[in-house]
Amino acid sequence: MALSRRQFLAASAAAAATLRPQEGFGRGLPWIPADRFDPWIEVSPAAIRHNAEVVGRLAGGRPILAVTKNNGYGLGLLEVASVLEPLDIVHGFAVVKAESALALREAGVTKPVLLMGLFEDDVGPELVRQGVDLVLATDDGADRISRAARSSGRRPRTHLYLDTGMGRMGLPYHRAPAVLQGWGADLPGLVGAFTAFTEDPEFDREQLDRFMGFVQRTRRDGLGLGTLHAASSNGVFHFPESHLDLVRPGIALYGAYPSDAGRERRIAELRPAVSLKARVVRVERLRPGDSVSYGRSFVAQSPTWVATIPVGHADGYPRGAVGGARVLINGRLHPVIGAVSASHTIVELGSEASAQVGDVATLVGWEDEALYPNTVAEDSGASVYDVLMHLNPALPRVLVEPASLGEAPPWA
């Protein structure tokens, strides 16, 4: 018998819940075997906590609605949630897929969870039962959520999503008053309202004016919109007027600067919270004229040692890493050479065989600034969002603390 959408989501959430970090998770347990060659991802709780403190300080102490979409920005949805939920500064979580919202609840998250995307009718009752906040983002949003609430037997909690110029999701600000008037008394469980910025500095100000103009109009009409939020990581750094009642950062919590790393680093220090690692699977000496990888873009001019690492663009490592990215092995940085293939990356060791099969290689991480996500992105001609969010969700993730696997971050 075919699974219904609701059954599928429940099964997905239950499966995800089994991955929730437990006592001692990542503390030297044999979870990443010492002889594992395939890549894995290490996540630093200490760095996440530090970054949440920094964001809270930049936001003037306002609560944080932590965006954990796209598998926690690549770090792992449940891994980052397990670190963030105990923090007083964290109000709750925001996701864009119903599976993620249910996974958080099934894993034991009790703080508010906001689903910023839409959902199918047969999933709605379960979302309401689990206390997930839903968005009023379409003309039929009130009816859709009311149906879900009636089937669940619980009162829903909703946030109004206003499109002030992003043109992506939400009720267009110029039509929203009429839509709300049409909903009338049927408006279900409104506890908040929000918008999303284009991150064009001048237009963002226009967007905020549109949002606050709408808020003031609805208040004059006797409708309270609840908690107001608009600022993403970019807004936290560059647009303090948008901080409102709470801020809604994502990538900054995980140690990457959102738009201008040089400028933002001068404002506040974030600490990378993710490390992509694998073990060297081949070390070989090239003769003059020997080449590596597709297209023969690297040809040895003199005897040169190279190492192969079983990480490629299918794992989330950027194809453009050959443009200048480096990899850390045994405390030394080595340039990526040749095209990054789906499953392998090749680095130049130089005139000496300074690595051997089984040595740990770090491609993204906190051990050196050359490995920071923003640096890898810049050296690869990629977006820092791609460097994090494209990390393969199938790779194992482990929370690391001092005396744990790999190199613990210096701030841990």
CB hemisphere CA count around 372 (13 angstroms): 19
The answer as to CATH 2.40.37.10 being correct for domain 274-399 is yes
Q: Where are the domains of the chain?
A: 62-255, 274-399
**Which pair of tokens denotes residue 254?**
């995980």
Question: In tens digits, what is the pLDDT along the chain, a chain of 412 residues?
Answer: 344 444 444 444 444 433 344 333 333 333 688 889 999 999 999 999 999 999 999 999 999 999 999 999 999 999 999 999 999 999 999 999 999 999 999 999 999 999 999 999 999 999 999 999 999 999 999 999 999 999 999 999 999 999 999 999 999 999 999 999 999 866 789 999 999 999 999 999 999 999 999 999 999 988 889 999 999 999 999 999 999 999 999 999 999 999 999 999 999 999 999 999 999 999 999 999 999 999 998 999 999 999 999 999 999 999 999 999 999 999 999 999 999 999 999 999 999 999 999 999 999 999 999 999 999 999 999 999 999 999 999 999 999 974 444 455 655 5
Task: Assess contact for 402 and 44: CB atoms under 8 A.
Answer: no
CA distance 403 to 409: 10
pLDDT tens by residue, 168-192: 999 999 999 999 999 986 678 999 9
What type of residue is 197?
Answer: F
48-57 b/e with 16+ CB inside 10 Å = b? bbbbbebbbe
Nearest to 360 by CA among 292, 275, 285: 275
CA distance 337 to 373: 19
DSSP 295: G
> How distant is the alpha carbon of residue 381 from its chain centre?
20
**Of 3.20.20.10, 3.90.1410.10, 3.10.580.10, 3.40.50.2300, which CATH number belongs to 62-255?**
3.20.20.10
* Coil/strand/helix, residue 107: coil
pLDDT tens by residue, 259-289: 999 999 999 999 999 999 999 999 999 999 9
Annotated catalytic residues are: 69, 294
Write the Ramachandran bin of 145: left for phi over 0, alpha for psi from -120 to 50, otherwise beta. alpha
Task: Assess contact for 333 and 349: CB atoms under 8 A.
Answer: no
Task: Assess contact for 132 and 113: CB atoms under 8 A.
Answer: yes
